A and B are shown apart, each in its own frame.
Chain A
Amino acid sequence: MRDDDEALRALLEEAGPRAPLPAQDLEAIREAARAEWRERYGGARVRSRVSGWWIAAAAAVVLAAAGLLLLRRAPAPPPATGVASVERSRGEILWSPGDGKLAPLSADGAGRTIPAGAVLETVGSARAPGSVALRMAGGASVRLDAGTRARVASSTVIELDRGAVYVDSGGPAARRESVAVRAAAGLFRSIGTQFEVRAEQGGSVTRLKVREGRVRLERGAESVLTDAGQELVVRGDGSLERGEAAADAPEWDWVVTSAPMLDIEGAKVRTFLDWVARERGWRLEFADSETAALADSVVLHGSIAHLTPAEAPDVVLPSGGLGYRVSNGKLVVFVAGGGKEPVRTPR
């Protein structure tokens, strides 16, 4: 081992430090190559399907005001020069647009454009844990837990050094570009749509939890699938362990706390409920058709920007004459005072 170490040291010392590669150039090459690949091998078909969907959505907008409101709330794409933008940040966040020295992200960092190759570090402390939520150029939401260091390699790949990354591609209907997470264990790629990758013990253990959809771990020629509700632990020796990961388990709390908040001004209650259910890992149910109709018709006004998805239902639903309960992973909504359910606002 010592001989091995000495030979490696001599080899690296002789070679000297690597000159950094320009991240912007690499990203430009990658995207040009992606366009070429799509043109030739099927990406073009995906693109045309997306276009078709938008045309259909546009038609629906003409016919339904609710559709218009939904589109208004679609996340704005970041400026063309970046691959992501900061949607929400809490606590102390350090960042660098390249491989340079990290500097604090200002408190009003929301909206900042993140270029390819940027490094983000969330400073972890029990008292004031830092976290940051990014909106990728393709529309996916990416969140970094406290104590995380990650590099935004491109609009579709996050490289995780330590800590945890959560990816939400918005479900199949959202048609957002999927985002993969590269960790020491390999490349974790979603097949729709919510998952967390956590690097533990200095990267020697990688833990994947899938909340919705399916995730494929690619390591060399090997491919390992993990379904929603499952956990996959990849140990340093390459061995795999499987476990369970409930969609509404307390371990997801940091994801809920760091979630970018919905702009509810002008939104239907239904939109709000869909969003809350998704962020909390619940399935949405209405106590009856009357409640569902109410949710589809009531329009909200105001802002919940300073709340979290855990706090928002207690504030929003009573104003719409609704109550809710949570049972077995289901968010059950009912008309408050309708005699069918007690009015309560748990958690």
Chain B
Amino acid sequence: MESVRQTWAETPGAERKLLDRMQAGEESAFDVFAERYIPGLYRFASRRLAGDRELVRDVVQSTVCRVIEKLDSYRAEAPLFTWLCAVCKNEIAAHFRRLERRPREVGLEEEHAEVDAASALSPPSAGIEERLDLLERQERVHIALDRVPPAYARAVEWRYLEGLPVTEIARRLGTSYKAAESLLSRARNAFRLSYESLPGREGTRKAPHRSFEKGTPA
């Protein structure tokens, strides 16, 4: 468990060191950065741009290039992915400012801000809150899966989404039952750490994040 934690639970300090290595011209650091953060960032942007593929590609590309421009600016006070998402939201906003029109869909945080403003004038709408929570959990689950090694993500999805028995997973992996169980255990831990490291809707009056910590009811 501890070794998995070392591997997947990057501290902001470790992420700062990764950026330092990138600034030192170390290509392997760039590759780690690209593999670890670009897929999740793509999904983050895609959700906010209604899946407009061309636009998503442009926005994510400009986000990553902007981040590379100012690697010095990351202060390691929050997870790196949170910072990337903040830059991405700015890029999305800038895009729509350029077009002088509003986005077709707004991000969860922005949407929530509108809900909060409305709630000052009328009773809070439980339906909207629940919907926002659900959207946020979906996004976190999918991005968390994007950020673990593909083999882990597949194992977790086979077991918990498709409901495959361990014997079938072992067969697909061409391995023993015990080895498949072991892989699933590591995959589960990696996913959990990835999920928990992602930003939630901070500042909300209630944020009933569904958890899968042992003993915590969903």
The yes or no answer to A302 lying at the interface (CB within 8 A) is: no
- Nearest A residue to B14, CB-CB: A221
Chain A neighbourhood of B32, CB < 8 A: 187, 218
**Which residue from B9, B150, B154, B179 sits with its C-beta under 8 Å from A204?**
B179
In the complex, identify which listed stretch (A29-37, A89-97, A311-319, A334-342) lies at the interface while the others stay far away: A29-37
When the two chains form the complex, which single residue of B11, B39, B218 contacts A7, counting CB atoms closer than 8 Å? B218
A7 touches B216 (CB 8 A): yes
Contacts of B34 in A (CB 8 A): 30, 33-34
B50: Cβ under 8 A from any A Cβ: no
What separation, in Å, do the CA atoms of A100 and B137 have in the docked complex?
Answer: 27
A17 to B134, CA, bound (A): 14
Contacts of A45 in B (CB 8 A): 25
**A14–B134 CB distance below 8 A:** yes
A63 contacts the other chain (CB 8 A): no
Asked if B161 and A1 sit within 8 Å, CB to CB, the answer is: no
| B57 partner, pick from A10, A29, A153, A201, beta carbons under 8 A | A29
Q: Tell me the minimal C-beta distance from B83 to chain A in angstroms.
A: 16
Q: Which of A156-164, A168-176, A292-300 contacts B (4 or more CB under 8 A)?
A: A156-164
Answer whether residue A16 sits at the interface, using C-beta atoms and an 8 A cutoff.
yes
Q: CB-CB < 8 A to A204: which residues of B?
A: 175, 179, 182-183, 186
A346 is an interface residue with CB less than 8 A from chain B: no
A12 within 8 Å of B by Cβ?
yes
Per-residue CB contact flags for chain B residues 33-73 toward chain A (1 = under 8 Å, else 0) read 01100110011001000010100110011001100110100
B46 to chain A: which residues have CB within 8 Å? 19, 21
Q: Which residues of B contact A1 (CB under 8 A)?
A: 214
B171 to chain A, nearest CB (A): 11
Annotate B66-110 by CB proximity to A: 1 below 8 A, 0 otherwise.
001101000000000000000000000000000000000000000
- A186 at interface by CB-CB < 8 Å: yes
**Interface CB pairs A-B, < 8 A, 23:** A3-B214, A3-B216, A4-B213, A7-B216, A8-B212, A11-B160, A12-B161, A15-B137, A15-B138, A15-B142, A19-B46, A21-B39, A30-B38, A32-B65, A33-B30, A41-B24, A42-B25, A184-B152, A202-B182, A204-B182, A216-B28, A220-B9, A236-B186
Cβ of A60 within 8 Å of any chain B Cβ, yes or no, is: no
Which residues of A sit under 8 angstroms from B168, Cβ to Cβ?
none
**What size tier do the contact residues of chain A reach?**
35 or more
Q: Give Cα A88–Cα B114 distance, bound, in whole angstroms.
A: 59
Q: C-beta contact mask, A266-286 vs B, less than 8 Å → 1, else 0?
A: 000000000000000000000
Known A-B contacts A30-B34, A32-B65, A222-B6; A11 and B183 likewise in contact (beta carbons under 8 Å) = no
Q: Is B157 an interface residue (CB 8 A)?
A: yes
CB proximity of A94 to chain B, nearest CB, Å: 14
Cβ proximity bits A201-223 to B, threshold 8 Å, 1 near / 0 not: 11110000000000010111110
Tell me the bound Cα distance from A29 to B43 in angstroms: 13
How near does chain A come to B61, taking the closest CB pair, in angstroms?
A: 5
B211 on the A face (CB < 8 A): yes
B112 interfacial contact with A, CB 8 Å? no
Q: Which residue of chain B lies nearest to A151 when distances are taken between CB atoms in the complex?
A: B150
Nearest CB of chain B from residue A339's CB, rounded to whole Å: 52
Which residues of chain A are within 8 angstroms of B142 by Cβ–Cβ distance? Answer: 15, 18-19
User: Which chain B residues border A143 with CB–CB below 8 Å?
Assistant: none
